Structure 1
Amino acid sequence: MRAVRYHDCGEVNVLRVEDCERPEPAHDEVLVEMRAASINPIDAILREQGAPRLPKTTGSDIAGVVAAAGADVDNHEEGDRVFATGLHVGRFGGGSFADFAVVPTDLLAPLPDGVDFEEGAAVALVGVTVWRAMVHHAHLEPGATAFIHGGNGGVGHVAVGFAAALGATPVATARPEYHDAVRGLGAAAVIDYTRDDLTEAAVEATGGADLVLDALPGTYFDTDVAVAGFGGDVSVLAGDEATLSDVPAARSKELDIHMMSMSNLATHPDAPDIGPILDRLGRLVAEDRLEVVIDRTYPLEDAAQAHRAIMEESFLGKIVLTP
């Protein structure tokens, strides 16, 4: 089979499409024939900085058909449509950018009829991220207000639609060329993030947000605290540059700040199960309550282009690969 792998960390030129042996599922795994995979920034970051196990097949999200099941698997069988995420974490040398991938049963869920493989792959990691931020951590409720950075991005566009599906009011940031599209996903207001008065505009639009979702805390952490209302939640995908200079402001508002790491979602014993979250996300997409936007699709052989685009280009939604 083909797999997109790297043996050393570095730029996109370390990626190679290689012929590999088809893996065999362990007793608690299934073998998935890939019909679609999607790229996330973590895939490029691992490729640049080095994965724990090398060589590494890149890719975290997959949607496809079960080709074989392990001896102890009784809830999935050959021919089932499924989607999964978490293949980027350190416990795996394999990833989703391959003709076949082995996936533990706790990381996948049935893909509902009517949901395309491309949609399933695109929503997997970003959807679980949004679910953990909004439901698991912040307990977002109908009528609440959510302020979302980067409403056109992979996480951001799903967050806008998911908040609206929950009955909350999403307010997002985005470049002006994406404003109409982000409003179409459910945003009540969209703010140009390049504005000098971004913080003031966000406070005015939200009235003090019940939840702030931030994938760029190194840039906006203090803004997040200023925009959040009293007793609000700030969920950040914590980066190495994340610093909070105005601790008194966060304390005075009694904010709950959630520092998230999606790289522990398949390894930490206290992390919520991924399968049930994926199952709920799949149903939301199937019921047309959550839209997943696919900006473009590349063939597997052009995985390097996807790696370059995810870090260097601006676009709406997700980038997907197909066999």
Structure 2
Amino acid sequence: MRAVRFHEHGGPDQLRVGDIDRPDPGADEVLVEVDGAGVNPVDTYIREGATEPFTLPMIPGIDVAGTAAVVGQDVTDIDVGDPVYGTGIGKNHYGGYAEFVAVPDDRLVTLPSNVDMVAAGAAGVVSVTAWRALVDHANLQATDVCLIHGGSGGVGHAAVQIAATSGARVITTANPSYHDELYELGADTVLDYARDDLASAVQAAGGGGVDVVLDHRLDEYLQFDATVANVGCRIIGIGENETGAGFDRSSETRRKDLQLTMMTMFNTPDLRVPLRKIAYLLSEGDVEIQLAETYELEEAAAAQRRVIEDSFFGKVVLTP
């Protein structure tokens, strides 16, 4: 089979396409014939060597969707021929940037037949992160006002749709060129993140403040989040706080009884639970993964450069 691999850590040019043996799935694994493999920032961190070491050479890619080609003997809920998708699949040295990948069955679920398989290949990380943040950690309610920073990003645009489906009032920020798309996805208010009066605009749109914040840049927005928060606001951080920034006005912050949770998708107790929820929303049309561009395996380096260097709406995906 054809697969993208890197033999040592470094820049995107380390990614090479070659022919290798098709993996044999273990008893608890499913061999997936890949239709789509999302390109995520974490894929670039693994390639750079910034995360825990993996066996080299390695096939990157932690998201995948495709058809179950071979099913291990201990797998009970997936059959050969089933459409499937999953995330967190970077076991040992196998990832989704390939024609086939062996995926542990605890990271994979079946998909309804009406779901676009290429888009589903880019759904895992962003949709599970958004679900865990808003539903599991923030306990988002229909009566809440929810602020989502960066609504045009991968997690952001999934979060806008999940929050809208819950019935919450959704405020998000983005470059003005993406505002129309975000309204179409269900946002109630879309604001230019660069406007000088952004805090006042968020508070006005929320009727005084917000109840839930999804923040991908805590080092930039942590005090901002506290300023626009209602009493009891739940702030969920999914990004790095590289500067170690904290609250500038601690007394104001304490008066609001804020809850701050920093999370990663990789701590999900059972990935199949949110994956099944998202599969249902995908089939009902309540969540639609927007694809900025698709790339072939030979273009994996260009796809990763796009993810780390460019601004775009939605997701980038490889299509073996």
> TM-score normalised to the size of structure 1?
0.93
**Distance (Å, rounded) in 2 between the aligned partners of 1:243 and 1:56:** 35
Alignment of 1:168-247 (within 5 A): 168-206=168-206, 207-241=208-242, 242-246=244-248, 247=250
Query: Is residue 160–residue 187 contact of structure 1 (8 Å, CA) maintained in 2?
Result: yes
**Distance (Å, rounded) in 1 between the aligned partners of 2:20 and 2:260:** 44
Q: Secondary structure at the match of 2:122?
A: helix
Structure 1 position 280 matched with structure 2 position 277: yes
Structure 1 position 289 matched with structure 2 position 291: no
Query: What's the CA shift for 1:306?
Result: 0.9
Name the CA shift for 1:208/1:258 in 2 (closer, same or farther; >3 Å). Answer: same
Q: Secondary structure at the match of 1:115?
A: coil
**Distance (Å, rounded) in 2 between the aligned partners of 1:227 and 1:31:** 47
Q: Secondary structure at the match of 1:162?
A: helix
**Distance (Å, rounded) in 2 between the aligned partners of 1:292 and 1:307:** 18
Structure 1 position 321 matched with structure 2 position 318: yes
Please name the residue that 1:268 is paired with: none
Instruction: Report the more deviating stretch, 171-180 or 24-33.
Output: 24-33
**Distance (Å, rounded) in 1 between the aligned partners of 2:189 and 2:50:** 39
**Distance (Å, rounded) in 1 between the aligned partners of 2:313 and 2:241:** 26
Q: Secondary structure at the match of 2:121?
A: helix
Query: What's the CA shift for 1:41?
Result: 1.2
Query: Is residue 189–residue 205 contact of structure 2 (8 Å, CA) maintained in 1?
Result: yes
- Equivalent residue in structure 2 for 1:67, among 51, 54, 69: 69
**Distance (Å, rounded) in 1 between the aligned partners of 2:253 and 2:282:** 36
Q: How large is the RMSD of aligned CA atoms in angstroms?
A: 1.5
Please name the residue that 2:302 is paired with: 305
Please name the residue that 1:58 is paired with: 60
Letter in 2 for 1:10: G
Instruction: Report the more deviating stretch, 167-176 or 114-123.
Output: 114-123
Letter in 2 for 1:244: G
Structure 1 position 137 matched with structure 2 position 137: yes
**Distance (Å, rounded) in 2 between the aligned partners of 1:57 and 1:143:** 44
Per-residue CA deviation, residues 21-42 of structure 1 (Å, 9 max, x unaligned), is: 2111111111111011111111
Per-residue CA deviation, residues 165-215 of structure 1 (Å, 9 max, x unaligned), is: 111111000001111111111111111111122222222222211110011
**Distance (Å, rounded) in 2 between the aligned partners of 1:178 and 1:55:** 39
Name the CA shift for 1:22/1:234 in 2 (closer, same or farther; >3 Å). Answer: same
Structure 1 position 257 matched with structure 2 position 260: yes
Per-residue CA deviation, residues 40-80 of structure 1 (Å, 9 max, x unaligned), is: 11111222234511322111110001111112112112111
Name the CA shift for 1:34/1:194 in 2 (closer, same or farther; >3 Å). Answer: same
**Distance (Å, rounded) in 2 between the aligned partners of 1:75 and 1:49:** 35
- Equivalent residue in structure 1 for 2:87, among 85, 88, 91: 85
Letter in 1 for 2:236: S
**Distance (Å, rounded) in 2 between the aligned partners of 1:251 and 1:272:** 31
Name the CA shift for 1:49/1:202 in 2 (closer, same or farther; >3 Å). Answer: farther
**Distance (Å, rounded) in 2 between the aligned partners of 1:108 and 1:249:** 44
**Distance (Å, rounded) in 2 between the aligned partners of 1:310 and 1:147:** 24
**Distance (Å, rounded) in 2 between the aligned partners of 1:11 and 1:150:** 26
Query: Is residue 146–residue 163 contact of structure 1 (8 Å, CA) maintained in 2?
Result: yes
Instruction: Report the more deviating stretch, 294-303 or 233-242.
Output: 233-242
**Distance (Å, rounded) in 1 between the aligned partners of 2:264 and 2:127:** 14
Letter in 2 for 1:218: D
Q: How many residues align?
A: 315
Letter in 1 for 2:22: R
Please name the residue that 2:31 is paired with: 31
Per-residue CA deviation, residues 147-181 of structure 1 (Å, 9 max, x unaligned), is: 00111111111111110111111100000111111
Query: What's the CA shift for 1:249?
Result: 3.5
Q: Secondary structure at the match of 2:151?
A: coil
Letter in 1 for 2:262: M
Task: State the percentage of identical aligned residues.
Answer: 44
Q: Secondary structure at the match of 2:95?
A: coil
